[in-house]
Structures are given as structure tokens and as C-alpha cells.
Amino acid sequence: MLNKIHHVAIICSDYEVSKHFYTDILGFEIVREVYREERKSYKLDLSVGGVYQIELFSFPNPPERPSRPEALGLRHLSFEVADVAAVAEALFIKGVVTEPIRIDEFTGKPFTFFSDPDGLPLELSQY
């Protein structure tokens, strides 16, 4: 029935800050950017590796969502990378601090976490 995950939608608190983070720092490409006057909302469609992945939305005064490591619901977004240490270093140069790199006990592969401007947990997973 299901083929794959089509996209992930993210609502941000500061559109320009998050747009900069996802495009200039993480390297997502802009597919489409629209401003919806009736909703006072931007919608930014982003792709990585030529594949549409994220819808970034802005809304006036969105409510905060609690985010704790073991909170119920979506836990984090994970990005596949060839070299976790190299990407973590590249992010550090751009001002993004990651957690110490760990090794997954089942796969033996390295991974680490960092956050977007609104505290959304993001992961780098080495394949």
C-alpha cells in the first residue's frame, strides 16, 4: 500500500532563521517558495539529493510543542550521511554544535544528534 515517506512538515517560529538553517547550513535545495496571504504563512518546499523531503511552514504565533528525549510522538528526523564525523565538523564550522558521536549498538554505525533553530531534534546517521 505505502511506497515511501513523501515528506515531513515542519512549522518554525522564525521563517528566515529556519530557511537559512535548512538551505545555507544543511544544504537543502529550494523547490518552491510561496507566501499564502490568507494564512499569513510561508510554505517552503525543500529537497535533498534531488528528492523532495521537507515542507517548512511559518504561521503567526504557533503554540510550542513539548520536546523531551522520550516524549510521546515523533522523536527526531534522521539524515543519512557518508561520514558522520566529517558532516559534524562541517556543521561545527557553520556554528552548529552536535552531541558527541556515538556508535549504534546494533548496526555498529556512528550517529549523532543536533537541533534546528526551534529545538527540533535532528540526527546524522552513517550508512
Please write the tens of the pLDDT for every residue from 93-108.
Answer: 999 999 999 999 999 9
pLDDT at 75: 81
Residue 126, domain CATH: 3.10.180.10
Residue pair 87/125 in contact (Cβ under 8 Å)? The answer is no
In a domain, 69, yes or no: no
pLDDT at 39: 92
User: What Å distances lie between residue 43 and 10, 53, 82, 125, 127, CA to CA?
Assistant: 10, 13, 30, 27, 31
What pLDDT, in 10s, does the model give residues 12-33?
999 999 999 999 999 999 999 9
The number of folded domains in the chain is 2
Q: How far apart are CA 110 and CA 127, in angstroms?
A: 9
In a domain, 66, yes or no: no
Going edge to edge, which strands form the sheet with 77-81?
A: 77-81, 121-126, 110-115, 102-103
Give me the chain's average pLDDT, please. Answer: 92
pLDDT at 82: 96
pLDDT at 68: 65
Residues 55 and 78 in one domain: no
Residues 97 and 121 in one domain: yes
Categorize the per-residue pLDDT at 6 as very low, low, confident or very high, splitting at 50, 70 and 90.
Answer: confident
Considering only residues 87 and 76, tell me which one the structure prediction assigns the higher pLDDT.
87
Considering only residues 88 and 6, tell me which one the structure prediction assigns the higher pLDDT.
88
